[in-house]
Amino acid sequence: KNHCSSESHIRQMKLFAQDKDQFIEDYSRLFEEGYLETLKQRHGTARIKANTVYQEYISDRHHIHMNATRWLTLGNFIKYLGREG
């Protein structure tokens, strides 16, 4: 069965259609939390390339996909983190 025609995918698309802004905000928060948790657990306060942390984060098969967030690129996400502290 094609993923896009699966019941779970259709259910998620209906939820998205009801309140896309909230949906994207929730996934953005989850992505940020997951990314920062990966950074903290694996590297502590050491200086590390953002893409290295991203590759480690997405190696978890249950990660939140960046395309479900408000950030179009990893660079945009890192700039956001720099502004937000």
The residues, ordered by sequence, that sit 6+ positions from 75 with a Cβ below 8 Å of its Cβ are 50
Tokens of 22: 């909230």
Of the chain, the percentage scoring pLDDT greater than 70 comes to: 99
* Per-residue pLDDT at 63 exceeds 70: yes
* Per-residue pLDDT at 46 exceeds 90: yes
* Per-residue pLDDT at 11 exceeds 90: no
**pLDDT, tens digit (0-9, with 9 covering 90-100), for 17-44:** 888 999 999 999 999 999 999 999 999 9
Q: What is the pTM of this model?
A: 0.83
